[in-house]
Amino acid sequence: MDMQTKRRFVLSAMSLCALLTCLSPARAEDPDLWPTKGWLTSTPEEQGMDSAALARLVGYGASHSFDSLLVVRHGRIVTEAYYAPYTADVPHEIYSSTKAVTGTLLGMVYKDGLLDRLDHPVLDFFTDRRIADVDDRKRAITVQNLLDMTSGLDWDQGFEGGKQQSLNDLYRSSNWTQFILDRPMAHPPGQVFNYSNGNPELISAVITKLTGKLAEDYARERLFDPLGIQSWHWDRDPQGLTKGAEALYLLPRDMAKLGYLYLHHGEWEGRPLLPPGWADVLNHTLVNVHASGDPNESYSNFIWVFPDRHVYRMDGKNGQLIVVFPDLDVVVVTTARKQVRYKTLIDAVSGAVKSGPALPLNPDAIRQLADAIKDAAIEKPMSISPTPVIASAISGKTYKFFDDDVGLRSFMLDLTDPHPHFDVEFSLHYPAGSSVKYSQPIGLDGFYRKGAPKASDPGIGLITEARGTWLNGQTFVIDVPVIGSGEQQEVILTFSGKKLNLHRTVAVGEGQDVSVDGEQVIN
């Protein structure tokens, strides 16, 4: 048994042991449990849930590109699954669920008295800047408008047929705060919901203005330390500010703590961390997100709400969810590489809740759940095709690319080396003319091979795995997940003489396809 297999076997065994640990079932009269130093675990039946129904949910996750699934009831984890090749010890990017964390920090700033009111005009915090297109509408933007995505700033995030031009332009900008403030107005503030990364980025800048600290540093002191969150990474923008909209990496168990804080009305260990009512999301004045007036999905303080289901969620791209069920005393966390179907998840969890107090133990159902969790942690090999004659001819040859828009400079696939791998070189925006190279092992036996953590990702420890096979006599396909990124890429290489077409697609999840042509050079 190799080390990778041993590691996954141990994780599976730990999950099984945790699931079968017999703890006193929670009752209505039990004191609140605070998982500051770690979560307690329980069988689902001891917390009034059905193991067989949760086993089906774990199986659903296996067929829908989950990386992890956690279900917490009455303060105890009743289901915890990690899907190979992802493992429990890797912080996972939560994408736009980061926005809800940024909103939470703003609530703490407000509770601390550093922000006098939520309807405070935003431009008051940036009087040291020269801002373009200032008019009465822009002067009227409030902090609450930012939190509710109703700032009125002109912004194309890519929804409703857009090309996410504003987002692309933001990423090219050297000063994100200035870029956002300079946006022209499309609507009067408070009137139109328009989902925008610009709003939480401004909130992060406001937090720094009011606290004198980066949002991440304020989070460490006021949020992460009290909740016992010790492992995280949070990217910064070109000016060094904490990104308010994305790029926070957390362990799934720590994601669940954020949901648990909201489930307990913003209190932790009996201490209020948030202003009264801030965490009672279902009681907020909600912003409808559809022009049609559909009441079934709303928004408040960077949190998505299903008022008809009495459920709300912190929501990140490709299925990074923290879902709170206040009526059921349940928190659910998913990390994934494909957008989760919200109502399917809500129905599955709600259907698994059978009572408030404990149910009779059901050994067969508990075994089904344990088997599903164990199976999820075992890597399933891809099918392998015969190696064509062309393999030796292209192996070790370098192909150059000249498409500046894509940024790919060169690619080399070596299938004859004792340790098969591919090397790839990308251009960097800064400094001009520079590039970065990666070398990635690749499995040819149907199983992934793991690369080393990338030096460009300090503090994250992101690891790329790869496996590949021949699709036909000229085409080689590489399956490339980045562990903890919520994304899985597929690279299709088509060889023809000295030419190579490289087509990159996001096999599961969201992303833009890329197709470029390269030519073999003399090594």
Tell me the per-residue pLDDT of 353-402, one tens digit each, with 9 for 90 and over: 999 999 999 999 999 999 999 999 999 999 999 999 999 999 999 999 98
Q: Residue 10: its pLDDT value, please?
A: 37
Whether omega for the bond prior to residue 295 falls within 30 degrees of 0, making it cis, is no
Q: Residue 365: its pLDDT value, please?
A: 98
Confidence of residue 477 (pLDDT cuts 50, 70, 90): very high
Checking if the pLDDT of 99 tops 80, the result is: yes
Q: What is the DSSP secondary structure assignment for residue 445, as one 8-state letter?
A: S
pTM of the prediction?
0.89
State percent of the chain over pLDDT 90.
Answer: 80
State percent of the chain over pLDDT 70.
Answer: 89
3 state SS of 165? helix
Q: Residue 20: its pLDDT value, please?
A: 40
Q: What is d(CA 150, CA 192) in angstroms, rounded to the nearest whole number?
A: 5
Q: Residue 120: its pLDDT value, please?
A: 98
Whether omega for the bond prior to residue 431 falls within 30 degrees of 0, making it cis, is yes
β-bridge partners, 443? 467
Q: What is d(CA 510, CA 441) in angstroms, rounded to the nearest whole number?
A: 25
Size of the chain in residues? 523
Amino acid type, 295 = P
Q: Residue 511: its pLDDT value, please?
A: 57
Checking if the pLDDT of 28 tops 60, the result is: no
Q: Residue 8: its pLDDT value, please?
A: 42
Q: Residue 427: its pLDDT value, please?
A: 86
Q: Residue 216: its pLDDT value, please?
A: 98
Q: What is the DSSP secondary structure assignment for residue 117, as one 8-state letter?
A: -
H-helix or E-strand spanning residue 333: strand 330-336
Q: How far is Cα of residue 495 from the mean position of the Cα atoms in its chain?
A: 35
Contact 434/427 with Cβ under 8 angstroms? yes
Give, in degrees to the nearest 5, the angle at Cα 448 between 443 and 452: 95
- Joined together, the tokens standing for residue 145 give 């408008």
Q: What are phi and psi for residue 23, nearest 5 degrees? A: -115, 160
Q: What is the pLDDT of residues 57-87, one digit of tens each?
A: 999 999 999 999 999 999 999 999 999 999 9
Checking if the pLDDT of 119 tops 60, the result is: yes
Checking if the pLDDT of 292 tops 70, the result is: no
Confidence of residue 158 (pLDDT cuts 50, 70, 90): confident
Q: What is the 3-state secondary structure (H, E, C) of 215-264?
A: HHHHHHHHHHHHHCCCCEEECECCCCCECCCCCEEECHHHHHHHHHHHHC
Q: What is d(CA 489, CA 198) in angstroms, rounded to the nearest whole number?
A: 27
3 state SS of 206? helix
Q: Residue 291: its pLDDT value, please?
A: 59
The residue among 16, 33, 166 whose CA lies nearest residue 79 is 16
Checking if the pLDDT of 14 tops 50, the result is: no
Confidence of residue 452 (pLDDT cuts 50, 70, 90): confident
Domains of the chain: 1-90+251-380 (3.40.710), 96-248 (3.40.710.10), 390-521 (2.40.128.20)
Q: What is the DSSP secondary structure assignment for residue 121, as one 8-state letter?
A: B
Confidence of residue 460 (pLDDT cuts 50, 70, 90): low
CB atoms within 10 A of CB 190: 16
H-helix or E-strand spanning residue 463: strand 463-470
Q: What are phi and psi for residue 76, nearest 5 degrees? A: -125, 140
Q: What is the DSSP secondary structure assignment for residue 24, as one 8-state letter?
A: P
Amino acid type, 212 = G
What is the average pLDDT score of the chain? 90
Q: What is the pLDDT of residues 390-438, one digit of tens each?
A: 999 999 999 999 876 778 999 999 999 999 999 999 887 667 778 889 8
Q: Residue 12: its pLDDT value, please?
A: 42
Contacts of 248 (CB under 8 A, 6+ apart): 93, 94, 97, 98, 101, 232, 233, 234, 235
Checking if the pLDDT of 346 tops 80, the result is: yes
Q: Residue 407: its pLDDT value, please?
A: 83
3 state SS of 419? coil
Checking if the pLDDT of 453 tops 90, the result is: no
Q: Residue 512: its pLDDT value, please?
A: 67
Q: Residue 488: its pLDDT value, please?
A: 86
- Dihedral sign (CA 267, 268, 271, 274): negative
Lowest mean pLDDT among 10-14, 182-186, 233-237: 10-14
In the chain, what are the helix, strand and coil shares in percent, each to the nearest 5? 30, 25, 45
Going through 88-140 in order, the beta strands assigned E by DSSP cover 92-93
Q: What is d(CA 81, CA 368) in angstroms, rounded to the nearest whole number?
A: 13
Q: What is the pLDDT of residues 500-510, one digit of tens each?
A: 999 998 766 55
Q: What are phi and psi for residue 437, nearest 5 degrees? A: -120, 145
Q: N- to C-terminal Cα distance for the chain?
A: 38
Checking if the pLDDT of 481 tops 80, the result is: yes
